[in-house]
Amino acid sequence: MTHSERSHQFTHSSSKRRASVVYGSVGKGGLYIPSDFIGSPSDRNRHSLQSDIEADENSPLIDVQGTQANLVDNVSNHFKNRRKSSVARELLDQERELLEESHIPVGDLKSDDDVRDAFEDAVENHQIEVTTPMLELKTLISSAIPSVVTFLLQCSLSTVSVFSVGHIGATELAAVSMGAMTANITGYATIQGIATALDTLCPQAFGAKRYTMVGEYLQKCVALISVVMLPVLIAWVFFGYDLICLLVPDKETAKLAAQYLQYVSVGIPAYILFECGKRFLQAQGIYNVGAYVLLIAAPSNLIMNWYLVKHIGYIGAPISVAINYWLMAAGLFAFTIFFVKAEDAPSGLHPLKCWGGLNIKHAFQGWKRLVSLAIPGLVMLEAEFLAFEILTLLASYIDTKSLAAQSIGTTMASLTYQVPFAIGIASSSRIANFLGAGLAESAKVTTRVSLSFGLIISVLNFLALYCFRRPIANAFTKDQEVIDIVLGVMWLIAAMQVSDAMNANSAGCLRGQGQTKIGGIVNLVSYYVVGLPLSIYLSFYSPWKGSLHGLW
């Protein structure tokens, strides 16, 4: 059996090319991300890898590359290079585990291809039909741990700022929350949303072997985001106070929030380069560089925040964030050039193979397809960011102390959310792999295990926030009034963990089945039709008005 003839093999779905959300913002990242993982049911008899690397038939990449026969060559070439990939090794190990679990001897299999052929034959002969819950639990845990670590590291970038500033005073704590909220909505979500276009365009170009086009799309996207963000940064630097005063009643909070925007704006160009550069590498199957950079940036941000806030006060927090954005961009650049080797890349190519040189004039031309993909991603991320950030804005209309307490609550909710979200990511890949291999019953087992495991995690999150609510509040601030507000509302934030974690896990299961539209509709209706109107009523018009309880 040749590589291209295999139709029942594990292959990573688009989950590895998921659009990055700004995890750990003062608000929360989106519950659903703009990626589909597998084809329609009628397509499942084909190898799922082909749907991953095929460009859309209307894409200009297909016209440039040639006939559909080239797509078959791409599939075959990918299999030839697959044994070089750490991702492929993970999938091969999963296939081997399923063979062993089904009591099919694998000791005599001398090569990776022997394992793949044995797995194919076992599926064809119905020797592998259903996996076991224990095996799925083990696989989900091992797959989720790296994602949890990565998400928590990125989450720590903003958590540290809230933590360090909170010890100065309630006004400063409220200001850093408002400044970060404004930066999230008008800055980070905009950058992330536009950059999602690269999740489609760069893999298409790479799959079609138009390697330098990957670099061209990178430059075009950086140029487009820069043009969009330029007026935003001008507003942050010169009109930040006036704009925030329109939203926040307390003038001192608005003044400090405006300072946050002024200083953090220095790091925004680096943030653009980091996010686009990360997608440039992900399109080539290189996913670990971003994690390595965060392993350096997160401790650096912690130390820098502590030192600068201690010595220069409130503005030390945004200065630290800006500096670390530049360190992240420089780190990504250095790792790509000096540490990534061709033999370690899934394709066997060095990532600079996709860099055709800097062409500034060309970068500002031909944005039509880029814009058509960027707008839906931008709208989706803005919608999801806005829902939670509106709560922060509403808290500012209660009083400054409540806004300060709100920043602690949303920070902890965002932190605990990373664990079930990572489990959802792991389960979506596993479910998509099973469906791609034609093992629908095994996909059901994974779904049940994922939801059950997610329920356990949600209960642990609830217990952690509820039982340690006082140490958590004391860790963020010394203001007793803010601490009392946090203690009063933390039971609600803790209780929300159960539904929030189950939402993240069920979203992962839906993504694995390619049913993201269901989650998207539920998400929008829940937030904008039910959640936010109810929060506004309870917080400002009900008999219980005037407290954070209504918001949560």
* 327 pLDDT above the threshold of 60: yes
Q: Outline where 246-286 has alpha helix (H).
A: 251-264, 268-282
Q: What Cα–Cα distance (Å) separates residue 163 from each residue in 173, 191, 260, 363?
A: 8, 25, 15, 40
Q: What is the rounded CA–CA span in Å between residue 157 and residue 271?
A: 13
- 224 pLDDT tier (thresholds 50, 70, 90): very high
Q: Of the ranges 330-334, 398-402, 409-413, which is most confident? A: 330-334
Contact 48, 476 (CB under 8 A): no
- 37 pLDDT tier (thresholds 50, 70, 90): very low
Q: What Cα–Cα distance (Å) separates residue 420 from each residue in 47, 143, 223, 229, 509?
A: 29, 12, 35, 32, 12
How many other C-beta atoms can be found within 10 angstroms of the C-beta atom of residue 456?
Answer: 10
Mean pLDDT of 235-264: 90
- 8 pLDDT tier (thresholds 50, 70, 90): low
pLDDT of residue 272: 95
Lowest mean pLDDT among 51-55, 240-244, 246-250: 51-55
CA-based angle 404:422:503, to the nearest 5?
Answer: 70
Mean pLDDT of 4-11: 55
Contact 37, 511 (CB under 8 A): yes
* 259 pLDDT above the threshold of 70: yes
Q: What Cα–Cα distance (Å) separates residue 197 from each residue in 48, 140, 276?
A: 22, 29, 10
pLDDT of residue 147: 73
Lowest mean pLDDT among 15-24, 203-212, 363-372: 15-24
Mean pLDDT of 400-423: 85
* 316 pLDDT above the threshold of 90: yes
* 409 pLDDT above the threshold of 80: yes
pLDDT of residue 271: 94
Query: What is the token pair recorded at 247?
Result: 């939203």
Q: Domain extents for the chain?
A: 44-83, 126-165+398-552, 167-379
Mean pLDDT of 268-297: 87
Q: What is the rounded CA–CA span in Å between residue 543 and residue 513?
A: 44
pLDDT of residue 98: 64
Q: What is the rounded CA–CA span in Å between residue 346 and residue 351?
A: 10
pLDDT of residue 163: 79
pTM for the full predicted model: 0.71
Lowest mean pLDDT among 33-37, 391-395, 406-410: 33-37
Lowest mean pLDDT among 235-239, 263-267, 541-545: 541-545
Proportion of the chain in helix, strand, coil states, percent, rounded to 5: 75, 0, 25
Q: Which long-range contacts (CB under 8 A, 24 or more apart) does 242-251 make?
A: 243/182, 244/178, 244/179, 244/182, 247/178, 247/393, 247/396, 248/178, 248/393, 248/396, 249/396, 249/397, 250/171, 250/174, 250/396, 250/400
What's the whole-number average pLDDT of the chain? 77
- 134 pLDDT tier (thresholds 50, 70, 90): confident
* 125 pLDDT above the threshold of 60: no
3-state helix/strand/coil string of 182-207: HHHHHHHHHHHHHHCHHHHHHHHHHH
- 248 pLDDT tier (thresholds 50, 70, 90): confident
Q: What is the rounded CA–CA span in Å between residue 427 and residue 450?
A: 6
Contact 288, 86 (CB under 8 A): yes
Query: What is the token pair recorded at 41?
Result: 């049911």
Q: What Cα–Cα distance (Å) separates residue 165 from each residue in 172, 176, 498?
A: 6, 7, 29
SS3 for 7? coil
DSSP 55-117: PPTTSHHHHHH--THHHHHHHHHHHHHHTT-HHHHHHHHHHHHHHHHTT---TT--SHHHHHH
pLDDT per position as a tens digit, 486-531: 999 999 999 988 888 888 888 878 877 767 677 767 877 888 889 8
Query: What is the token pair recorded at 375?
Result: 């707008």
pLDDT of residue 35: 37
- Beta strands in 21-107, from DSSP E residues, in sequence order: none
Closest CA to 444 of 228, 179, 210, 136: 136
Mean pLDDT of 470-494: 90
* 266 pLDDT above the threshold of 90: yes
* 364 pLDDT above the threshold of 80: yes
Contact 510, 516 (CB under 8 A): yes
Q: What is the rounded CA–CA span in Å between residue 473 and residue 482?
A: 8
Closest CA to 132 of 431, 442, 415: 442
Query: What is the token pair recorded at 87?
Result: 């991702």
SS3 for 55? coil
pLDDT per position as a tens digit, 267-282: 999 999 998 998 898 7
Mean pLDDT of 174-182: 86
pLDDT of residue 102: 56
Mean pLDDT of 291-311: 90
Query: What is the token pair recorded at 215?
Result: 């670099």
pLDDT per position as a tens digit, 46-101: 333 333 333 333 444 433 333 333 433 443 344 344 334 444 555 566 666 665 55
